[in-house]
């Protein structure tokens, strides 16, 4: 893939994920203002609804990919030594992978409970 195509792909990923994160974020804030769950069980029941679960299932990779592309682009612009860039990307990859697995586990446990 050419460098220009890679840049366009990153730009599209940033815009699509930002749009989804923004729209779903508005939905979440609105829901918690209008009808906040009264206890943990009400929250779990809300998360277990298929539409909410699907929205959260899409939200997790959207946030993770948005963070990855943004962090990678900043490092490409400002971290000149390749060793520093590679180390920072490796640490961020580990953090984002662990966060994604933790979030997926939390969502699955909420649906099963």
Q: Give the pLDDT of residue 113.
A: 66
Tally of domains within the chain: 1
Report the CATH number at residue 50: 1.20.1300.10
CA atoms within 13 A of residue 43's CA, in its CB half-sphere: 10
Q: Report residue 45 as tokens.
A: 């029941």
CA contacts within 13 A on the Cβ side of 58: 15
pLDDT at 6: 75
Q: Tell me, what's the pLDDT at 14? A: 95
- pTM score, whole prediction: 0.86
pLDDT on residue 107: 87
16-30 pLDDT tens trace: 999 999 999 999 999
Q: Which two tokens stand for residue 109?
A: 């446990």
> Residue 111 has what pLDDT?
78
By residue range, what is the domain housing residue 106?
3-112
Can you give the pLDDT at residue 39? 94
What 3-state class would DSSP assign to 51? Answer: helix
Q: Looking at residue 1, what is its pLDDT? A: 61
**Residue-wise pLDDT tens digits, 62-97:** 999 999 999 999 999 998 899 999 999 999 999 999
């Amino acid at each position: 893939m050419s460098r220009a195509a890679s840049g366009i792909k990153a730009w599209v990923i940033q815009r699509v994920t930002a749009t989804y994160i923004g729209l779903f974020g508005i939905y979440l804030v609105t829901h918690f203002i209008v009808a906040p769950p009264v206890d943990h069980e009400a929250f779990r029941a809300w998360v277990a609804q298929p539409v909410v679960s699907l929205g959260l299932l899409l939200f997790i990779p959207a946030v993770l990919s948005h963070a990855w592309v943004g962090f990678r682009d900043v490092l490409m612009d400002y971290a000149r030594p390749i060793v520093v860039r590679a180390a920072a990307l490796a640490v961020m990859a580990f953090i984002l992978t662990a966060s994604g697995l933790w979030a997926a586990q939390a969502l699955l446990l909420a649906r099963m409970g």
